[in-house]
Amino acid sequence: MNVQKTLDALKARLYEIHDLHVAAGVLQWDQETDMPPKGAKARARQVATLRRLAHEKFTSPEIGEMLQILEDQGLPQWDPDSDEARLVRVTRYDYDRATKVPSDWVKAFAQLTSEARVVWREARARADFALFRPYLERIVVMVREYAHFFAPFDHIYDPLLDRFERKMKTAQVQALFERVREGQTRLLQHILSRPQVDNAVLHRHYDRQKQRDLIERMVAHIGFDLERGRIDFSTHPFTTGFSIDDVRFTIRIKENDLSEVLSGGLHEMGHALYHQGIDPKYEGLPLGRGASLGVHESQSRLWENLVGRSRAFWQFFFPWVQETFPENLRDVTPEAFYRALNRVEPSFIRVEADEVTYNLHIILRFELEIALLTEDLKVADLPEAWNAKMKAYLGVVPPDDAKGVLQDIHWSQGSFGYFPTYALGNLLSAQIWNAMPQELGDLNTFMSRGEFQPILEWLRERIYRHGNKFDPQELIQRATGQTIQAEPYLAYLEGKYGDIYG
Amino acid sequence: MNVQKTLDALKARLYEIHDLHVAAGVLQWDQETDMPPKGAKARARQVATLRRLAHEKFTSPEIGEMLQILEDQGLPQWDPDSDEARLVRVTRYDYDRATKVPSDWVKAFAQLTSEARVVWREARARADFALFRPYLERIVVMVREYAHFFAPFDHIYDPLLDRFERKMKTAQVQALFERVREGQTRLLQHILSRPQVDNAVLHRHYDRQKQRDLIERMVAHIGFDLERGRIDFSTHPFTTGFSIDDVRFTIRIKENDLSEVLSGGLHEMGHALYHQGIDPKYEGLPLGRGASLGVHESQSRLWENLVGRSRAFWQFFFPWVQETFPENLRDVTPEAFYRALNRVEPSFIRVEADEVTYNLHIILRFELEIALLTEDLKVADLPEAWNAKMKAYLGVVPPDDAKGVLQDIHWSQGSFGYFPTYALGNLLSAQIWNAMPQELGDLNTFMSRGEFQPILEWLRERIYRHGNKFDPQELIQRATGQTIQAEPYLAYLEGKYGDIYG
């Protein structure tokens, strides 16, 4: 078979696999937003069927044979940066990851985590870690097995991290997180010694429908294309895309907390802008998604925080909010609103954390995951270790395990290696932000005039359009001139919160 | 392989195929209700992939081999009415239908009708039949080819009818429709000589949200389970089910026509009650759907008309409507409301037709389809033939082809043989209705008290729970003691409209 024919045949298979995953995605989105409650049982089987068929098709020997032909005959003749070369490399990477794991293990792990999720929910509801403990113990054993399918490795955590952040190494993350932990705990100590910011204005009563209309008008103004996307409600906000022309995110609204829709909405909009910005030629192929969880999170956090919690942003948008809720905000200044949205306060729950404390929640989890996998920590001792780190990093100890070690779904799903990508996203958000002014000049001037097009265009050109073509660190290097750094984020926090808290 | 193992293996394959079709259904439902406009291109490919994979899996030789084993070794030992025996028979029937058609034909037909649908929309918008003509000519040629894959047959139309109404023969439908046409044209003539019923009350202004809430409360009261279903909006109302625990229908609301949501909502509710009532043990198998389009339509029409356009029904429900819209209905009596909903008036458009004229629209199409397939009519002469029959049966002639021969999507999709099932459904609705009082007594007494449970239970027991286990005419014979008859429907119309129009 010649190279072009093989490439076409490979693409045809990849489109098919992609369509099966997309279908599963639509079924899951539907389940979160629209499905009648009793539909869950049949839906679980339907999604499992689609994922299984996609997995079978992707791990079939034919894919391996096609890749081999393209590596032998295509790569030597192609520009290494061409779409063809990169498609083959990324697909090979995914293929090796998928085929190194025996299907018996995959099946057993799916079974275990499916049961574990149910037990975890029960355990969290009862704040009873002992219920969940035996499941987590079995999950840790299986996750260690998983890592060993990828031996040899420098660190047992490397293959887990690599699932979500291609080619990132544990040692590199450890070095970054050392400096982040030191810098953010110091900043937090300083803030806690200063008078607290008042955010009562956010907790007045805000009408649901008006909140929804407001966030839709805001994201449309910023650049989210509602002809190629939509906004829905769900219990836990998320973003999903069924093509670059159909990207959806969900929001959650609290009538007594306006910050919920503003931060959650702008966060998910960031993920959605990334997806809408991918080059259409990659649609349906492994290049047509974000480069990694960390890079994706850099965009949600950039729009949520660097943009959406900035003074300049609210100089433009506060009048919109004030007009929508005059009864609540007639007497409020843009500056007071800005400060309220940036109140810092240590809390038990990761997803409620502010910019200064968020990474500390992540670093705690990262350190505990590593200790479990290296067998330096037993699952039985996990709650105690959790609480000790909460005390050390955040100065607070949860009253029970529901607000502590049981709060996140990730471990019940076996998603070890996922948490660090949240903090990597934070670091990248500031690093990328700092690279823009060299070309664009002062970003605050744009934002205070409500002009987001230059920022969005820069991000599309340097990040979004490339999709998954480059490895994450290569993409960041190309966009910012450096691999991932901790300093820009720490400097951003110190500058901003030094100003707010004095 | 032993019989039980083969049966289990067949079921596993059938579940898989079912899940692929369900996924395609969710994607299509999503497209109609929620999808952003520009998502259509990728969505078309996704749905096509799922349907193609399902078709490949179903027509694979393994299914044929498993059926052969079960026919040789299972059927001789099973009760002919057992679920096992019926599953094998229905699956064999579907398998033969699917494998007799060459995949090249399927591909070419899909391509042709996909283009034809686009051209038909354009032709209808411009009221220009000449645009659509060459496509319809090619479709008729291919539909004739399709029929010949099933030769020998008594009538070339038989294999088409059989697609939608298993084992129904053209000759039988022709005999039924002769009597219906004669009876309904005569009744219509009589009605047209009488003073017209006033329905202005339905065309006052009715708030959208209140209409939606009202229909939801009504269908929930009647027995549609909202824990196992939901109601959405779409341009063209339809019902779809992703499992018996997830059955959805859509409605269309007109602010100046209350009858739209009442008749459309109760119609789709009928389809949905049928699906929700299927025995859970058939879920995911070919037995777990309705017996035919005609039987399905009998249920939508039974609830829409026999129930939802009856005097007793509105004795109970009119106060609900009156309370919802006091400003419009304070001065209206239940009797006037009942009469308004039953106004008879010949019109050009099938989907807007009343009970007395609806079947005439169908019979016209049925006769034209047959004439095209037997080559007694050329496509070029179709508009003229259409208008002549409109004049003869309904006494009106459409002002242009958009309101005439171009009004329905069916022919552009190649769905010859589909139309008669609408009228068969009407006939069956009255026949089934007439079978109930032998066991239940007077149905009007129940309805006027708002008690629908006995009616629904009877239908579940006799029709719904059996799903697709029995051939349609066998099911009707079991439920009513007779195969399909025209008289009950004609008698129903004559009784009801004789009363209304005097």
For each of the domains in chain B, give its residue range(s) and CATH number, in order of start.
3-99 (1.20.58)
Looking at A312-384, which runs of residues are DSSP E strands?
none
CA distance B237 to A292: 41
How many CB pairs below 8 Å do chains A and B form together? Answer: 121
Say whether pLDDT at A185 is over 80. yes
Query: Is B35 an 8 Å CB contact of chain A?
Result: yes
Q: How far is A44 from chain B (nearest CA, A)?
A: 11
Cβ-defined contact of B45 to A229 (cutoff 8 Å): no
Say whether pLDDT at A383 is over 90. yes
C-alpha distances in angstroms, A307 versus A311, A456, B378?
9, 11, 66
What is the average pLDDT value for chain A, to the nearest integer? 96
Q: Tens digit of pLDDT for each residue in A394-431?
A: 999 999 999 999 999 999 999 999 999 999 999 999 99
Identify the residue among A34, A55, A224, A239 best suited for mutation to test binding to B, counting B beta carbons within 10 A and taking the highest: A34
A500: left (phi over 0), alpha (psi -120 to 50) or beta: alpha
- Edge-to-edge strand order for the sheet containing B229-233? B229-233, B246-251, B239-243
Q: Which among B393, B419, B412 has a CA at the least distance from the CA of B131?
A: B412
For A428-443, b/e burial (b = at least 16 CB within 10 A) is bbbbbbbbbeeeeeeb
Query: Is A435 an 8 Å CB contact of chain B?
Result: no
Question: Which residue of chain B comes nearest to A57, CA vs CA?
Answer: B53
CA distance A51 to A57: 10
Strands A246-251 and B239-243: unpaired
The token duo for A75 is 């790569």
Say whether pLDDT at A1 is over 70. no
Q: Tens digit of pLDDT for each residue in A131-179?
A: 999 999 999 999 999 999 999 999 999 999 999 999 999 999 999 999 9
Q: Which residues 235-254 of chain B have a CB within 8 Å of chain A?
A: 242-246, 248
The token duo for A174 is 């450890």
Catalytic residues of A: 268
What pLDDT is attached to residue A181?
98
Give the active site residue among B32, B71, B84, B268. B268
- For residue A114, what pLDDT band results from cuts at 50, 70 and 90? confident
What pLDDT is attached to residue A497?
98
Name the burial class of residue A245, with classes exposed (0-12), middle (13-18) and buried (19+) by CB atoms within 10 angstroms of its CB.
Answer: buried
Per residue, the 3-state secondary structure of B442-498, as one string, reads CHHHHHHCCCCHHHHHHHHHHCHHHCCCCCHHHHHHHHHCCCCCCHHHHHHHHHHHH
**ipTM surpasses 0.85:** yes
Name the burial class of residue B102, with classes exposed (0-12), middle (13-18) and buried (19+) by CB atoms within 10 angstroms of its CB.
Answer: exposed
Q: How far is A304 from chain B (nearest CA, A)?
A: 24
Cβ-defined contact of B36 to A246 (cutoff 8 Å): yes
Nearest-CB residue to A37 (from B24, B36, B227): B227
Identify the residue among B11, B19, B240 best suited for mutation to test binding to A, counting A beta carbons within 10 A and taking the highest: B19
- For residue A5, what pLDDT band results from cuts at 50, 70 and 90? very high
CA A285 centroid distance within chain: 21
Q: Which residues 46-105 of chain B have a CB within 8 Å of chain A?
A: 46, 49-50, 53
Which one is predicted more confidently, B222 or A37?
A: B222
Average pLDDT over residues A310-330: 98
Say whether pLDDT at A249 is over 90. yes
The token duo for A450 is 């409500």
Q: What's the helix, strand, coil split of chain A in %, to 5?
A: 70, 5, 25
What pLDDT is attached to residue B1?
60
What whole-number percentage of chain A has pLDDT above 90? 95
Query: Is B229 an 8 Å CB contact of chain A?
Result: yes
Residues with Cβ within 8 Å of residue B133, at least 6 apart in sequence: B379, B380
For B186-212, b/e burial (b = at least 16 CB within 10 A) is ebbeebeeeeebebebbeeebeeeebb
Instruction: Give first-to-last CA distance, chain B, whole Å.
Output: 69
Q: Does B152 sit behind a cis peptide bond, omega within 30 degrees of 0 on the bond before it?
A: yes
Residues of A in contact with B241 (CB under 8 A): none
Q: Answer positive or negative: Cα dihedral of B161, B167, B172, B173.
A: negative
Type and span of the H or E element at A144: helix A129-148
CA distance A452 to A443: 9
CA distance A480 to A456: 16
Query: Is B42 an 8 Å CB contact of chain A?
Result: yes
- For residue A32, what pLDDT band results from cuts at 50, 70 and 90? confident
- For residue A41, what pLDDT band results from cuts at 50, 70 and 90? confident
Question: Which residue of chain B comes nearest to A18, CA vs CA?
Answer: B46
Q: How far is B167 from chain A (nearest CA, A)?
A: 31
> Which parts of chain B sit beneath pLDDT 70?
1
Amino acid making up residue A452? F
CA distance B270 to B71: 36
